[in-house]
Amino acid sequence: MSPYFLQYKRSSNRAWLLCIIATICFLKLTSTKAQDDLAIDLNKVEIPEARLPLCFGLTSISELRALEICDALNLDLNVKARELSDQWVRNQPDSPAAQFALAEVLLIVEGNMPRALFHLNRAEQLTGYETLEQAVSSGNMPWHYLTLNQLSYVHQLMGEQIQSLMYLNKLSEIYGLDVESLRGWPLIKLKQYDAARQSANQVLQTNDNRRERARAWNTLCAAELASLQPIKSTSACDRAIDEDGKVEDQTNDFDTVYLTNASEVALSLLQIERAEDYLQRATRYLNPNSVADPWIYMLYLTMNQGRFDEARNALDRMLLWREQQEPIVNVMNRAEHFLVSSSFLLLAGYAEDAVKLTNTALNQPDRNGSYSADDEQKDAYAALLNMMANRSEYQIQLENMATMDFFSAMRMRLNKITLQINAWRAARRAGSLFAEFEVIQNRLRPYAPLDVHIPEWVEPELVQLLGTGVMSVVLEQARENGAFQLNNGYYFSYRTEIAALDKNYPSVLEAGRSALARLPEQETLLRARISARMAEAFWRMGQHEDSLNFYAVALRQDPSISRRLEASIPIRLEIDDSEFSKQVSKYLIRSPRFYEHENGFNLSVQQTPDLSICLNARTGIVISCYTMSTAANQSSDWNAQELTRNFHTRTFGLGYDISKAQRSILLGSSVILSSQINGNQNREAFLNR
């Protein structure tokens, strides 16, 4: 749900930390004189490469049950690891090692954060040491350290940043660890930007570790992007990718988080081609442990630009990437997949499936502690898309009802009422979440980098949600604060929408011309919306030729725009004297997409040699045409209905035939099925041992 600003994943290599802990223990347990004699800079200690096998990231784990669980995890025998950890907790419920092991399996293998948190809390209760001496003398020091570390991480992922900071402080106080580089991101999530800057600068001044310095640069980058005004320099963001600032170095292409972050920064500066270049680099290497799926953002970019064939390919690649993700990553970015998929389905004409996906995103939220946007923003966008999907599905059902008799349309009339109610409820929810002044102010900035990613072609829907009066005030304030400093075209796009809803047609044309003259060429779908608004304004002012030209441009750039704006297009019917053509023309006139006018587009219906409907400009240029063969085993009325429905599908959608099976995959069915298959294989391997 970008542009969320992604945090770097914490290092899983805990072996070096244990070495430091052991050194600290030794120093604390010796005399003061000995400590003075042995005073060393731990950051300069050369840690030899560990040769002992790692278990939960440490080399000091000696419990046989723990080692057996780690062996199962290393061999991808996840079912066996779960069964062993369950059995250990049942047999020894008061063992902090058992509680931590089960929590780790639940977290890493299943992505079940709430249950993992329950067992981590239990492990903490069973230790509860306040000093290093207590931890050492208990014999449970590794488990205590691991528990505190994971409690900080899980609370961060679940959006509980104060608790995350509390556990980081415990690690620092008890074990003397330098955790400053991990404090920056929770502070960013809490919007304590000054404290985050101070923390990051402290890391850069005192720490030579490249990973921790990169994390600090990332914090500084996010803090700089918090302003409404564009950042003056991308130095901090670039150095998060490469300490030496070599962001174009192709050897930096292995970490998708670095590159997707860079893409978000480039987008916030409206460097759209550069943003796509970073994403192309990020897609070269599959990274199942990374919360950043670059195909999500590639899908958004190609949709924005009306590159629908490439968007369809990005959708397929995104699903392949999702299939390879680790479970913990999957629960962190699943709503992102649902929302970008629903956006594509909405454009493609599968509004009913878009409704299901947006409902799923609302009911199964991300654990988005590694993103800068919060749950409320994600929910607001999901509700906004849900409203749009319900309204589009309502329009599709109106189109289908145009081909039905009274009795056949009865059930659909009931569905229409449900869709209207659901759209109203979603609009109310989205409106309430966006109503906060600071939130909507930052939302208006193009590609707001620390907010949830709402495509620029969707954002004009906010005007109707909040009202033209409120949006006018907020818009002017955002402009004064520098939100549109890089490109005023986005400001005029909102002005066009406000004027259209106020039915101020001269202002629509004035603002629309200014927007189209200034907006980047890549904003194809946003430009299509503006063209559609201008077409309506020209028509209302009696300038029919100009109106048809803008209608034609809008339909070529975004075929679904008429449904989303609930707009009707003026047409002049051209039919022969056959009963079939008369029947089809009756269906077309009933459709909410068309109304008859002598100065409208030419809409012709032909029965020979094949059945066809064609929508043409007055100059003869084809806007949309659909042809089908006559179904000899069906009635003439059935053929007329089928022709009319398919024409609507082709004209006001993208023309992609997305099967029901493929749409089920978007909802995650394949992920569930894959997990079941892998689980059965693991179980079989375990039983055969």
Fold of 569-645: Double Stranded RNA Binding Domain (3.30.160)
Q: How confident is the model at residue 368 (pLDDT cuts 50, 70, 90)?
A: low
How far is the C-alpha of 299 from the C-alpha of 277, rounded, in Å? Answer: 14
Direct distance between the N- and C-terminal alpha carbons of the chain, in angstroms, rounded to an integer: 43
By mean pLDDT, which of 349-353, 420-424, 437-441 is the weakest? 437-441
User: Alpha carbon 179 to chain centroid distance?
Assistant: 29
Over residues 544-573, mean pLDDT: 96
Q: How confident is the model at residue 629 (pLDDT cuts 50, 70, 90)?
A: very high
| Gyration radius of the chain's alpha carbons | 29
Res 222 pLDDT > 50: yes
Nearest to 98 by CA among 133, 128, 63: 63
pLDDT tens digits along 270-313: 999 999 998 998 898 888 888 888 999 999 999 999 999 999 99
| pTM to 2 decimal places | 0.83
Res 369 pLDDT > 80: no
State the DSSP string of 510-578. Answer: HHHHHHHHHS-TT-HHHHHHHHHHHHHHHHHTT-HHHHHHHHHHHHHH-TTHHHHTT--EEEEEE--S-
How far is the C-alpha of 226 from the C-alpha of 190, rounded, in Å? Answer: 12
Over residues 190-216, mean pLDDT: 89
Fold of 1-20+46-177: 1.25.40
By mean pLDDT, which of 3-7, 202-206, 327-331, 595-599 is the weakest? 3-7
Res 550 pLDDT > 90: yes
Q: How confident is the model at residue 595 (pLDDT cuts 50, 70, 90)?
A: very high
How many other β-carbons are positioned within 10 Å of the β-carbon of residue 112?
Answer: 17
| pLDDT of the residue at 332 | 79
pLDDT tens digits along 647-675: 999 999 998 888 888 888 887 643 333 33
Q: Coil, strand, or helix at residue 413?
A: helix
Domain ranges of the chain: 1-20+46-177, 334-564, 569-645
Higher confidence at residue 409 or residue 539?
Answer: 539
| pLDDT of the residue at 39 | 44
| pLDDT of the residue at 252 | 56
Q: For the stretch 139-176, what's the b/e string if a residue is b when 16 or more beta carbons lie within 10 angstroms of its beta carbon? A: ebbbbbbbbbbbbbbbbbbbbbbebbbebbebbeebbb
| CATH dotted code for 334-564 | 1.25.40
By mean pLDDT, which of 25-34, 87-96, 156-165, 315-324 is the weakest? 25-34
Domains 334-564 and 569-645 share a fold: no
pLDDT tens digits along 110-162: 888 899 999 999 999 999 899 999 999 998 999 999 999 999 999 988 888 99
pLDDT tens digits along 508-528: 999 999 999 999 999 999 999
Structural contact between residues 558 and 525, judged by C-beta atoms closer than 8 angstroms: yes
pLDDT tens digits along 604-619: 999 878 899 999 998 8
User: Alpha carbon 602 to chain centroid distance?
Assistant: 41
